[in-house]
Amino acid sequence: MGQREDPGVETVVRGVERLCLGPWPGVNVYFLHQSDGLTLVDTGFFFNGPGLLRRLQGMPPLKRILLTHFHPDHSGSCALLARQLGVPVLVQPGWWLTRTLLRLLRLFRIGRTAPPPELIPLEEGDRVGRFRVLHTPGHTPGSASFYDEERAILLCGDNLVHMPWGFRVGVPWWTLDHALQRRSIARYADLGAKLVLSGHGPPWRGDLTAFLEGRTAGPSCLPRTTR
Ligand SMILES: [Zn+2]
């Protein structure tokens, strides 16, 4: 895989920045500039770490790392960043299963992702700045989402992805429990989200409740977005 560096940070809305890291189609990390400090959501692959460190040097001090889930394209650099910057990593319970898998992969030299030194478990309803933690397992046992009620912004990890071929349920071939993931996605319908920031692809803007209506129960992926 190539190690192409990111094309640049995009301001999605005030206080929320997105950085798409390569290789294509890319994986997103988000910078949340909140009153209690800077939060990094997800960390890309292990080879994105040095570039992220350099970029963070030009930003306010990092307060914490938040993980949507413990897959190597989202947690790959969290150990490096946590160690270098002395910040905690916040993640939902359930990460242990994937961490065990990562250790096995590492053993067979398939990946170089090491577990971070300090993990703080997140629970449903916890708050990280303006964002409320939602327990939304399925893609992984510890998949989490984060919702800012005031601005109707949903960070959904890989539960929904906005790929060039559509806005849909995320990454079926990497999802552990599809039925559970759909139940988690069904929870989004109650939120009233207007802006969805996923692990892959550009921001999706629209009425998520209306979009999901009648679409989460079926076996197929969500249909192509009209945007
Ligand atoms: Zn992913």
31 CA to centre of ligand 1 in angstroms: 17
158 CA to centre of ligand 1 in angstroms: 5
58 CA to centre of ligand 1 in angstroms: 26
Name the band, by pLDDT with cuts 50, 70 and 90, for residue 1.
Answer: very low
44 CA to centre of ligand 1 in angstroms: 9
How confident is the model over 14-42, as pLDDT tens digits?
A: 999 999 997 777 999 999 999 989 999 99
Give the CA dihedral 177, 181, 183, 186, nearest 10 degrees: -160
190 CA to centre of ligand 1 in angstroms: 24
Mean pLDDT, the chain, as a whole number? 84
141 CA to centre of ligand 1 in angstroms: 14
Q: Hunting for tokens 């997140």 — which residue is that?
A: 122
**For the whole model, what pTM was predicted?**
0.86
Domains of the chain: 9-212 (3.60.15.10)
Angle at 72 between CA 180 and CA 8, to 5 degrees: 110
Alpha helices for the chain (secondary structure H): 49-57, 72-75, 78-85, 95-107, 178-188, 208-212
How confident is the model over 163-222, as pLDDT tens digits?
A: 888 898 888 888 888 899 999 999 999 999 999 999 999 999 999 999 988 676 544 445
